[in-house]
Amino acid sequence: MTIFKLPVFDELEGYERDPFRSFYNCGIYQEPYDYPLVDFPGLLDIEVNNHCNFDCLFCYRNKMIRKENFMDTALFRKIIDESRSNNLTGIRICGWGEPFMHRNIYDMIQYASSNTLLVHITTNGSFLINDDNRKRLLDSGCNKVKFSFQGADENGYGVMRNNSLYQNIVKAVLSLINERDRAGSNLFVQVGTSFTDETMDERASFFDFWVDKADHVYGDNTHLEHVKDMERIKNLTMKSEPVYRQNKFSRCGRPQSMMFISSSGQASFCCSDYNMENIIGDVNQTDLKSIWHGQDINIIREMLKEGKKKLIPICANCYTQR
């Protein structure tokens, strides 16, 4: 197994134009344990729904047993209202579903944006094949869209994403970039993928295609730990062992700077909590600040600060940077 310290490919020059860069570069995100706990999270990950129109082989949704639902718009507005009054930097609309499936997604983006919050949205890109949807996104006030690919080419994408939409989504991304430029929009377009057994040359080919088209492009790695016992993953023929990234930080800083809100309104300290097994509060019942300073998340912070990551099941086998 090959281990490296940074993503295989990451166009850092483009990253410097990321509207969220001031948060990602700040001390509470980079070195959170060198600073006192902030009064309110700097960033919120909000899952507006956990439905998805894809059936990807690698996705942890294959093991998700919690109920599928769409976040109530009133609850979303409650989260935004409290966030605005506490000087939140921004929100990332992401999670364990395709956010463009929510019928009110454009209104949600616009509401957050009109309340001076930065808005990022992560998508599989399928809904932006539609011309009208791209226009609605550009008109919504969204600051950043991340297109999530898989593999390095059409074949690898088709196998892992379990569909044949690769060329359609590539065309949608390119169309959005052209339409954005014509409209004079500041929407930041990021293209990312994750690799399994692709060669370095194949990875480089993906990067070379996008580097002068998207604002930022990077490659990470697919981790199959939670789904490796599934038959359709077992039957995949790998050319070589996956390349894994070494953790950049020995102590996760997310509970010091960020929080995840599920589509049902439950809060977790980890965005990888696909089954919401690490609930630290419920936004339907209490305010975000009380959850942020609550006993449940403080216990996790202390354990991570003391280097007891292995005692927290969701953290023990984490391969993310933090």
pLDDT in tens, 205-244: 999 999 999 999 988 877 666 666 666 666 664 544 444 4
**Would you state the structure tokens that stand for residue 66, as one six-digit string?**
């919690």
Using pLDDT thresholds of 50, 70 and 90, give the confidence band for residue 248.
very low
- Report the C-alpha gap between 274 and 68 in whole angstroms: 11
Say how many residues make up the chain.
Answer: 322
**Computed from CA positions of residues 107, 86, 287, 256, in that sequence, does the dihedral angle turn out positive or negative?**
positive
pTM of the model as a whole: 0.90
Alpha helix ranges (H) inside the chain? 12-15, 21-24, 27-30, 73-85, 105-114, 131-139, 154-161, 166-183, 200-210, 231-234, 254-257, 288-292, 295-305, 313-316
pLDDT at residue 258 in the model: 95
pLDDT at residue 62 in the model: 85
The residue written with tokens 């057994």 in the block is: 197
Most confident of 167-176, 190-199, 303-312: 167-176
CB count within 10 Å of CB 220 equals 17
